[in-house]
Structure 1
């Protein structure tokens, strides 16, 4: 199978898996909004936030180092995998003991009870093996096995959440997420440990450990700050406004994740091919693919923004009615992840990950500062705007590092400017349309979508024509 066809097949598999998983979860949102109060939904989201942030410190980002090494070369991988696991697992035991000792203080910071926080540690253990094996499957480009693993585990988890919510839990229904995750991940992790054991060669090499940590450790600030960029707003909303508003915001955020499905599915299939194009010096081909994918992603983003009000009204119960105010903004913010990755993938390839850590740290500091000022004044809409501006900053900083400073890429800043201006104008059109009747509002927004579609089709055809002329 050619590299191009393999990339398309992987993209379809990753997208299908993400669509099935996220689609299943998306369809479950109307039921969850009727089974859980906003406060219970907010407490569930706080558990997810704590798990996402603590997992970075717990895993030391070693799973990404292993995946990156495998995408580059398979030479002596069995020894590399054993060396990494033999080093990181004892460290994880020490980290677990420390977290258990500090559970009372740390649980307060995340807005959790001590019992909930201890469950966070258990889930981090299980997620380490699950994420490691998932990344391994992506690195060897076994998108079929990855899809089966993702779909089966997540769907069973969602079903169990409903079972616990409806049949077993009268109060504290947010525990349904905790119980479901542990029940699903525990047997799966045992199976994964067995599969990993078949892959390793019991040969410890300190050079492998050094190589892994040189990649992983500088990335920890990036992964932590990236996680906090996605989670800090909920922690601060809980601090200033309480768990009920946190639940409404989290509900809208989970709807907006649909745009990330397209982004991450594409990036999972594109990144290995990009590395090969860089190695062969095919920068022009890489740029062409990135520009075309950006046009397609922009069309999806505008489409979701245009119909965001209707999506929110259909999915949410009355208690979550305010989620429509922030859904439009959160789709904007999350769509910028594609532009950020377009620049950042070059830095990942160069392994100069300290620059990614710098950019995410700056963006996080901006995000926290804006949230502190805007949440008390503007409520959850202030948090949504902080997300948009933080991701925009992340795009610009990664452009500066990858193109101007490290000179790894020839991508123009116009990729970001064109994308950002398009979604900003779309936001203004959507807000303007609310001044009219429902029918007229839909006509205005649909007309704008049609115009964007025509412009993007023209740009893609023009790009293909230029590439064809250059090749001739």
Structure 2
């Protein structure tokens, strides 16, 4: 056992900085989500479905409002800015953070002008809306710092802060829910408070290092890059979050809670995708810059296959995952697991195409694809939820992500033809066949949800294959 452990440690140490950082980001993200998942059975039993519904609606609105309040400046534009202005990163970061803060304050003033109107639209009380804006003001400071750490493939401090926030937030919320009669607020506010405190500390840190409030150069770069992306971010968030809001309006807030639990569990895989892509973005940019296209193409293939296999595995275990992590009133959510889990696979595919679009600053194509996907999601939900119930939202999400990915692929081809016509960044046509195979497998597994023995046999077989090919898999993800 010690010899085997030493072998794994040596393998990890031999990885490139990019692969090592990606590995630890993945571990950190799974630990972070694992803490949330392990406490989900407690929260689903301590809160009524109505109270849990308020929590899920808060999360959905936070994701949507944050786009307008922060312009998502800690996303692709900041990675690109670090590439362009790496020697000025402290002033750059401070300027970006102050731009985000200024917009957040303007939106807060707009809220206070007609507080009752906005509360009715959001379906949230004033105390939760104020909490949301405090989060929106301070959390970007941590996000900018985290992106900068990832960009330099540093992970130790980032993991420490991330896990401290995750563990502390969950335990504060548990204590508050047990002690308070306002359980929905108790689930939300303590976790938000910890993020605000950490965000405040990083805010001061960035301001001291950056010593810059306003920079016309940086603000202009940020606005020119990201304002055209607002429709993209809004539409993308609609794909991720609008289901719950529309279910609460067209069906019930209780069913929005059921859907939210299934969606949250299914989207665990999205954490893996996010961790990989966050590390893969600088790797992609540097590979293109240094003309290491073969390396980029091969690594992308390995990761797509890995994500596809994990998608199938999570789908197969869907009923058991729901029973472990949710109370009995949520068990019907098993039928949402397959389409939403499969959606995460297409999320990763389109993000790979989007990375190329971002690199060449062709953001208009990103926005077009996102707007079509987001609008289609709203239309399909509006038509399907009243007829088929909240189950339909999972399949409308999947349909939209498939179309979304195809659009990004077409725009990726257009961008490639314009900037580097003789270069193939990915083996994208092979991914088409893989995607079709995974969709067929998903429907087959769904039919087996009532036949536990066959599904368990498939899961066991998959795990045995992974163990048998473990050395090859480790080699696959150790990109250099």
TM-score by length of 2: 0.88
Give me the whole-angstrom Cα distance separating, in 2, the residues matched to 1:202 and 1:238: 43
Residue 284 and residue 109 in structure 1: after superposition, are their counterparts in 2 closer, same or farther (change >3 A)?
same
Aligned pairs (5 A) from 1:141-156 = 141-156=153-168
Give me the whole-angstrom Cα distance separating, in 2, the residues matched to 1:215 and 1:275: 16
Q: 1:351 aligns with which of 358, 361, 368?
A: 361
| Contact 1:333–1:391 under 8 Å retained in 2 | yes
- Please report the RMSD computed on the Cα atoms of aligned residues, expressed in angstroms: 2.8
Deviation at 1:220, TM superposition (A): 1.7
Aligned pairs (5 A) from 1:286-297 = 286-297=296-307
| Contact 1:62–1:212 under 8 Å retained in 2 | yes
Report Cα offsets for 1:158-187 as digits up to 9, x if no partner: 111111111x223x4111232213320232
Aligned pairs (5 A) from 1:234-249 = 234-249=244-259
Aligned length: 459
Residue 124 and residue 224 in structure 1: after superposition, are their counterparts in 2 closer, same or farther (change >3 A)?
same
1:25 and 2:25 are equivalent in the alignment? no
Report the counterpart of residue 14 of structure 1 in structure 2: 25
Deviation at 1:298, TM superposition (A): 1.0
Residue 252 and residue 435 in structure 1: after superposition, are their counterparts in 2 closer, same or farther (change >3 A)?
closer
1:68 and 2:69 are equivalent in the alignment? no
Secondary structure of the structure 2 residue equivalent to 1:75: helix
Report the counterpart of residue 108 of structure 1 in structure 2: 120
| Contact 2:247–2:390 under 8 Å retained in 1 | yes
Report the counterpart of residue 69 of structure 2 in structure 1: 58
| Contact 1:305–1:331 under 8 Å retained in 2 | yes
Report the counterpart of residue 419 of structure 1 in structure 2: 434
**Structure 2 gap segments, 5+ residues each:** 1-11
Deviation at 1:311, TM superposition (A): 1.4
Secondary structure of the structure 2 residue equivalent to 1:351: coil
Aligned pairs (5 A) from 1:166-185 = 166=178, 168-170=179-181, 172-185=182-195
Report the counterpart of residue 51 of structure 2 in structure 1: 40
Deviation at 1:358, TM superposition (A): 1.2
Residue 444 and residue 179 in structure 1: after superposition, are their counterparts in 2 closer, same or farther (change >3 A)?
closer
Secondary structure of the structure 1 residue equivalent to 2:291: coil
| Contact 1:42–1:247 under 8 Å retained in 2 | yes
**Structure 1 gap segments, 5+ residues each:** 465-472
Q: 2:106 aligns with which of 82, 89, 94?
A: 94
Aligned pairs (5 A) from 1:391-410 = 391-407=401-417, 409-410=424-425
Aligned pairs (5 A) from 1:261-276 = 261-276=271-286
Q: 1:443 aligns with which of 436, 457, 461?
A: 457
Aligned pairs (5 A) from 1:127-146 = 127-146=139-158
